[in-house]
Structure 1
Amino acid sequence: MGLLAFLQRLFWGAPPRESSMVGRGTAGAPFGDPLSRDNSLSGPATSGQVLYKSRRGVFQNPASNRYAPHGDRTGRGQVVEQSPYRFARRDLPSGGFIDLTGDHRPDVLNQYGLPLLRTPDDLARWLSIPLPRLAWLIGRFDDNHRPQSESESHYHFHWIKKKSGGFRLIEAPKSQLKQIQLQILRGILDRLVPHPAVHGFVPGRSIRSNAAPHVGQAWVLKLDLTNFYPSVSFNRVVAIFRSLGYCREVAIWLGRLTTSAIPSSLNSPDRRMATVWPYLRRHLPQGAPTSPALANLSAFGLDVRLQGLAGAYGLRYTRYADDLTLSGPQRAVAALREIIPFAGWIVRQERFHLNKAKRRVLRRYQQQSVTGLVVNDQLGVPRAEFDRLKAILTNCLRHGPASQNREAHPAFAAHLLGRIGHLASVNPGRGVKLRSLYQQIDWNR
């Protein structure tokens, strides 16, 4: 079984039998063609309700079909008298130890080319760190399960203001933990192939590849996931590592190394509990090198189901981090009244949340932008962005660079050159004009 099929089974469950997929369409088209029915998409509300009921079973992921790791399916482990490995957990009722290595799957690990790690000792040797030090990094000796202060944490915390209002917490791992996370990223996570619709933080893909499928479409539906990283809990991360073949014990240690629990003393700048609330449970930290890959894997089920929804309606679907985009032809406009509720239902089923304030439906007569690029007729940078950058370069030429460096960038010239390079990668002609202005600037003024 390939990685794609394996992860589909993990998040999507066993594929339905052919007979259960044949609905109101023809035998050769299990879903039928929802766009070819005579006025059914623009008819009364009752037709939409019937369609919703007939399609619901296709897009849902019943708990009975979800993947359960082989071996010990309860996750309780086997109670033994002697400690099976260092730092094994105690079973208080019996006084023995709990062996959580029974569901180790070397065949699956070998299939993906992942390191064979069965015990915490194996993990420590692979990371080239003493086991007691590794246990300290995961908080194995901390009964409170979270640091009491920022100085006790293995992360640096920094609040940044969102453009839409409110604050976002950046959690940057300290040097030793960061090196460990980089090894987990290179040795494990980078070997896994994300869903084809994902373009964020994937080598060879970019905002350009994310926007390209939506060029020339009659309408573009933009959805935004709120608190994307904090929505991925510690349990979901452990489940990801277990699905790759690691036993529960190693998966727990890997999960603790790649998630964060904020200190009890941490407050937000606005002193509002609602700002801190999404970060209270152990979660993926925004700022850790492993978080983008783990977030993409945790959203694999979401991508599979939204891709299935798009395919059923003849649409196109992509995701860049927390930005979801669906687009389609004019004949599918009437189906938006079904597609939008379906998409929201799928997002909730996959334990994410939509930011309803950022939902947009962009028509042809509007500027259709996807991840910052215009997609109406061809890929391009918004004219306002080009004009803004051109004005900055012109003023640098006339009045000196210092007059335009209002945000005090330490490397302002490199910053502007990067913005020019981004624009030139999408529109080479405009990039030539901006580079010409850039080369005329006296950076010593």
Structure 2
Amino acid sequence: MSSRPNKPSYNFAPVKDVKTLALALGLTERQLNRLAANAGNMYRRNAVAKKDGSERVTWDAHKQLKAVQGRINQLFFHKVLFPLYLQGSIRDRAYPRDYVRNAEIHAGAHIAITLDIADFFPSTRAELVRDIWKNFFRFAPDVAEVLTCLTTKDDFLPQGARTSSYLANLVFWQREHNLVETLEKRGWRYSRLTDDMTISTTADTSEKELTDINRIAIGCFQGYGYSIKRSKHKVLRRNHRVTVNSLVVNVHPALPKEERRRIRAQVHQVKQALTSGTQANMPSVASTRGKIAKVVRLHPELGARLSDAFGQAIPFDSDGSSESLDERGIAMDRACGATVAV
């Protein structure tokens, strides 16, 4: 896939004592130990309803803990070399990662297998996090214990914490690279977007081979104590639509036709509303911009047409800057009662 190593690596000196860790984090040793002891209580619970009716629970860390977790990212996780089969929430200027690049790995797939770990974050126990700090980073046991306290809550990995996505990418560090090597030797491609795994091949294959690949992959994750979500475990074939992260990859990553139609309809609706001045129940301008940007990335010609049509509905300020367009769009959203993330 690239010259990157097939296994995550950290090639810096290990932290040998808590005093050194405290100094690196800008705290006294006493402050650090106190923060670690209380870290599990320093989160605010946020629950969001999912499409299937269940809840996705995330945890927002207290300002002080969040700042220390950000420092941990800078000191340690930003220095890890992550192989390119890991595509979820990794800061990497040389090889940017996201859901589109994850889908690109599987372009032209004849067959794709999708797997999803059930309750991934709550199922990631502190024991696995401790192993990362102690054996992957090679930190001293007392340092690993303090860092485990700072990055877990009530014995699990809290989704939403600044450090959690990096730990999620490292949780299989001992065995995942072996799985990837085994799959590659058999002509299969593998990628993981946090808790969503995709395995694909550009060749036709037998049912026995499919059974073997499923057994090997599922066995790897079950070996860590995880379960695979049955509803997300699918085998997709080229004679139908093959999707990865909601993108069609039969040829190259593309938005499904019905989504493109919805976006065109939304752009038309917003354009009409802005032109006529009747903005009640109008979709968010910021949301529409975001959807246009997605089309621009995946379908440049269509995206350019939608962008031009949308831009004609929003007059430029005298300086003609794109920043003034964004500010005008946000102001319109607020006037219409929309919620805007800035």
CA contact (8 A) 2:7 2:83 kept: no
How far did residue 198 of structure 1 move? 0.9
The one-letter code matched in structure 2 to 1:284 is: L
Partner-residue secondary structure (3-state), 1:288: coil
Cα distance in 1 for residues equivalent to 2:206 and 2:271: 48
Once the two structures are TM-superposed, the CA of residue 7 in structure 1 deviates from its matched residue by: 5.7
Deviation at 1:170, TM superposition (A): 0.5
Of 70, 86, 109, 1:182 maps to 70
Alpha-carbon deviations, 1:368-398, whole Å to 9, x = none? 1111211112221111211111111111122
Match of 1:62 in 2: none
Q: Partners of 2:211 and 2:36 in 1: how far apart?
A: 47
Task: Give the drift of 1:206.
Answer: 1.9
TM-score by length of 2: 0.82
Q: How far apart in 2 are the matches of 1:4 and 1:241?
A: 20
Partner of residue 22, structure 1 = none
2:325 is aligned to none
Instruction: Give me the identity figure in percent.
Output: 26
Q: Give the drift of 1:157.
A: 0.7
For residues 174 and 402 of structure 1, the distance between their equivalents in structure 2, rounded to whole angstroms, comes to: 38
Listed as ranges, the matches of 1:23-422 within 5 Å are: 112-114=11-13, 117-139=15-37, 153-202=41-90, 203=92, 204-243=96-135, 244-261=137-154, 282-334=155-207, 335-400=209-274, 401-405=279-283, 412-422=284-294
Report if aligned partners of 1:284, 1:291 keep a CA contact under 8 Å in 2: yes
Residues 8 and 82 of structure 2 are in contact (CA less than 8 Å); yes or no, is this contact kept in structure 1? no
CA distance in 2, matches of 1:118, 1:254: 13
After superposition, the Cα gap between the structure-2 partners of 1:187 and 1:402, relative to the gap in structure 1 and judged at 3 Å, is: farther
Distance 1:169 1:353, change over 3 A: same
SS of the residue corresponding to residue 138 of structure 1 reads: helix
Cα deviation digits, residues 213-251 of structure 1 (max 9, x gap)? 222221111111111222221111111111212100011
| More displaced 10-residue stretch of structure 1: 349-358 or 412-421 | 412-421
Q: 1:432: which partner in 2? A: 304
Paired with 2:273 and 2:243, the residues of 1 have a C-alpha distance of: 33
- Checking the alignment, whether the CA contact within 8 Å between 2:176 and 2:220 is kept in structure 1 is no
How far off is 1:6 after superposition?
7.6
Report the alpha carbon displacement of residue 302 of structure 1 after superposing the two structures with TM: 4.8
The Cα shift of 1:309 comes to: 3.4
Consecutive unaligned residues of structure 1, counting only runs of 5 or more, are 9-110, 147-152, 262-281, 406-411
Q: Residue type matched to 2:131 in 1? A: A
Amino acid at match of 1:256: C
CA offsets 1:79-129 (integer angstroms, 9 cap, x no match): xxxxxxxxxxxxxxxxxxxxxxxxxxxxxxxx7235x53332222222112
| TM-score (ref. length: structure 1) | 0.64
Q: CA RMSD in A?
A: 2.3
| 3-state SS in 2 of match to 1:159 | strand
CA distance in 1, matches of 2:108, 2:8: 32
Amino acid at match of 1:315: W
How far, CA to CA, are the matches of 2:307 and 2:202 in structure 1? 37
Q: How far, CA to CA, are the matches of 2:236 and 2:8 in structure 1?
A: 33
**8 Å CA contact retained: 2:7, 2:82:** no
Q: Match of 1:292, as an amino acid?
A: S
Paired AA for residue 394 in structure 1: H
Structure 1 residue 423 and structure 2 residue 295: aligned? Answer: yes
- The C-alpha deviation readout for 1:12-50, integer Å capped at 9, x for no partner, is xxxxxxxxxxxxxxxxxxxxxxxxxxxxxxxxxxxxxxx
Gaps of 5+ in 2: 315-328, 337-342
Q: Which residue of 2 aligns with 1:59?
A: none
Aligned residues: 304
